[in-house]
Structure 1
Amino acid sequence: MLAVGSIHQLTVVSGERCLLVLKPFLAKKIFLRHKVMVVVGVYISALLITAPPLLGWSRFKRDIGQHYCGFDYTSRDIASRSYLAYLFIGAYVIPCAIIIVSYVIIFRVVLQSDRRRLSIPTSRQYAAVEGTSKSDQRRQLKIAKLMLIVISAFLISWTPYACVAVIWQFVAADSSPHPDIVHAAAIFGKMFVIWNPIIYGLKDRNFRRQLCFCRPTGWRRASSVDDGAIFSHSATMTKKNSRLNSVFSDVHPNINEERSTSASLISPIVQYRHYSDCDVSVLLRSGADIELQATDV
């Protein structure tokens, strides 16, 4: 069920990418409850496809020489063949068709949009709206390219198993696939869970940034999170800038003491990136105290 659910998830993601490229501003109307409903629907559909053997349509059987059960792809009775055809269509053919159609639409829309933008002169107001839409489309297209790579890896991984375990029933009906071939195809397909993080790590900048953020020690985490917090309260903390300078001096005696008490917060922020993790933690606690007191002014 999880394997079928994963390809259905990719199918839904492809449809979502296509919809957001067609209507970029629709993303603001998609809330968490909608996403939860889609995820639940994905696994309900996967359950409807994989559960029939438990109800008497075909059967699960233990693979030869293995300690796990799988679909009965060796029997030649009508029930087994009809279920394999149902499985092949519902878990492979239809999702692949939706994925291909979605990406064809995506690239056609982007291509037509580029041609229209180059051929039609626009006013300033229309150009501003068009520029926002173009920016959203470029972002969606970048995500679509990433998902296309992920989906291609999935199809390349699972196509051998689909061919060996399903198509064999109808193409080579007089013989059965060798168990080693089936096991190799199944292992190759399940290795998709390995390709997924590798692809995301190489192609997705946000994934790489979050991976660096998870490091236990690193100035990137402090600079990316704490700088934003300090800048967001800079107007309030400016009133206590002199106290902030004294905190920096107490923590690190080598800090430049010729700095004016009315200097901007940008200079301390740049300098504090060179401190150790211990210094940073002290500065952050001090900064938090300053912020709390500044709000009372």
Structure 2
Amino acid sequence: MYSQIYTTTKIWIQLLLIWLVSFGLMVPPLLGIWGQLGLDTNTFSCTILPKDGRSPKKYLFVFGFALPCVVIIVSYSCIYWRVRESKRKLEGRSKLSGQTAKEKEEDSRLTTLMLTIFLCFLACFLPLMIMNVTDDSIRYPWLHIIASILAWASSVINPLIYAATNRQYRAAYGNLLKICKNNPVTRRTTWGSRTVGHSSNSPPYVDKRNLKENPTKL
């Protein structure tokens, strides 16, 4: 179904809807219809402030946390179930009984990866949601600041998670860091007005003028 869902046209439609929904949720406070946007001096942040005693801030934070949380749980549960079902079918076709040590290691790695991603999601966004819902009067501004920093950290934490739990990602990062070292070394030799370049794998360039004077150089 992937090739049917993620066509070029449908991807553009999905991206457009994401932006429309994201900005659409902020239209009421932007226009002052339901709350208002402004600076909260207690937390040093621009956020949704109450207007006439009403604000959509709590609803937006609960919705913004609960929806991704449900999506992550359902998606990773489906992935894990699909992987286990595929392995069982392969075992049945090959008439194998039980899992090998390698298969158990792959199952453990997959479980660790999904659990780590989910726990990091909770660590990044749950404090922010709790502080904005329960501490509406901001009695503990420093906790709000820490919660905001954790939420911002979610933008850079995924590469670290995948590198720590997936050897393919670690190998890719290693190749990326060693790419300059692994490239052929380009050597340049000047002969008259021409400059000839060759890699370390190509035959060496021989200056014929030097060869005439010093045959043993060859």
With normalisation by structure 2, the TM-score equals 0.63
Q: CA deviation at 1:67?
A: 4.9
Aligned residue number for residue 206 of structure 2: none
Structure 2: runs of 5+ lacking an equivalent: 96-105, 189-196, 204-218
Amino acid at match of 2:176: F
SS at match of 2:180: coil
Is structure 2 residue 199 aligned with structure 1 residue 283?
Answer: yes
Once residues 135 and 64 of structure 2 are traced to their aligned partners in structure 1, the CA distance between those partners, rounded to angstroms, is 17
SS at match of 1:217: helix
CA deviations 1:83-103 (Å, max 9, x no partner) are 124303431112211221222
**Residue in structure 1 matching 2:144, options 164, 182, 193:** 182
RMSD of Structure 2 on Structure 1 (CA): 3.8
**Residue in structure 1 matching 2:130, options 157, 160, 163:** 163
**Residue in structure 2 matching 1:194, options 142, 150, 156:** 156
- Equivalence map 1:1-20=2 (5 Å): none
In terms of fraction of residues, the more helix-rich structure is 1
CA deviations 1:207-260 (Å, max 9, x no partner) are 6525633657211xx3xxxxxxxxxxxxxxxxxxxxxxxxxxxxxxxxxxxxxx
Once residues 278 and 188 of structure 1 are traced to their aligned partners in structure 2, the CA distance between those partners, rounded to angstroms, is 46
How many equivalent pairs are there? 181
Distance 1:195 1:70, change over 3 A: same
Is structure 2 residue 68 aligned with structure 1 residue 101?
Answer: no
Distance 1:216 1:48, change over 3 A: same
Aligned residue number for residue 46 of structure 2: 69
- Equivalence map 1:126-137=2 (5 Å): none
With normalisation by structure 1, the TM-score equals 0.48
Once residues 37 and 64 of structure 2 are traced to their aligned partners in structure 1, the CA distance between those partners, rounded to angstroms, is 17
Q: CA deviation at 1:62?
A: 1.3
Task: State whether residues 161 and 182 of structure 1, in contact with CA within 8 Å, keep that contact through their aligned partners in structure 2.
Answer: yes
Aligned residue number for residue 11 of structure 1: none
**Percent identity between the two aligned chains:** 22
Aligned residue number for residue 217 of structure 1: 180
In terms of fraction of residues, the more strand-rich structure is 2
Once residues 120 and 69 of structure 1 are traced to their aligned partners in structure 2, the CA distance between those partners, rounded to angstroms, is 59
Aligned residue number for residue 54 of structure 1: 30
Aligned residue number for residue 112 of structure 1: 85
Larger RCO (alpha carbons 8 Å, 6+ apart): 1
Structure 1: runs of 5+ lacking an equivalent: 1-22, 123-137, 170-174, 223-272, 288-297
Q: CA deviation at 1:55?
A: 1.9
